[in-house]
Amino acid sequence: MGDRGSGDGAVGGAGMVGVVAAGTADVEVKVFQFRPQASDVAVGSVVTWVNRDEIEHTVTSGMPGAGAGRFDAALAGKGTTATVRFTEPGVYPYFCSRHQAMRGEVRVQ
């Protein structure tokens, strides 16, 4: 008894205003849509996609016909997840390679 869990290393950000701490964000893949379609996250954050459909989708970086090659994960069926950590600022469009009308975007700052 009396055990203490090791605490999370709190991220300082001293003196910086408006900077969002790195964290996590979830995107649901449901009825052929990414929800939310755009995710705003801080550098270092992890985004997790969760497939809520019975069919396979992918989370593929870039645009159809011009994949950026940064990430390409299969969501093989309902309940499957894919996780990407974003370590550099920028705008990262992505789509589903099986249903190219499915588009989303992660904005990292």
Nearer to Cu ion, 61 or 109 (CB): 61
Measured on CA atoms in the order 24, 26, 27, 29, is the torsion positive or negative?
positive
Residue 26 token pair:
């979830």
Q: Applying CB under 5 A, what is the total number of residues that bind Cu ion?
A: 5
- CA distance linking residue 61 with residue 40, whole number of Å: 16
Residue with tokens 């459909």: 53
Nearer to Cu ion, 44 or 64 (CB): 64
Nearer to Cu ion, 82 or 96 (CB): 96
Do strands 66-75 and 57-63 pair parallel, antiparallel, or not at all (unpaired)?
antiparallel
Nearest to 25 by CA among 7, 8, 50: 50
Residue from 52, 70, 98, 107 binding Cu ion (CB under 5 A)? 98
The window from 8-16, 40-48, 79-87, 95-103 that contacts Cu ion (CB under 5 A) reads 95-103
Supply the DSSP symbol for 22: P
Binders of Cu ion among residues 33 to 72 (CB under 5 A) are: 57
Tell me: does residue 94 bind Cu ion (CB under 5 A): no
Residue from 59, 82, 84, 96 binding Cu ion (CB under 5 A)? 96
Which residues are near Cu ion by CB under 5 A?
Answer: 57, 96, 98-99, 102
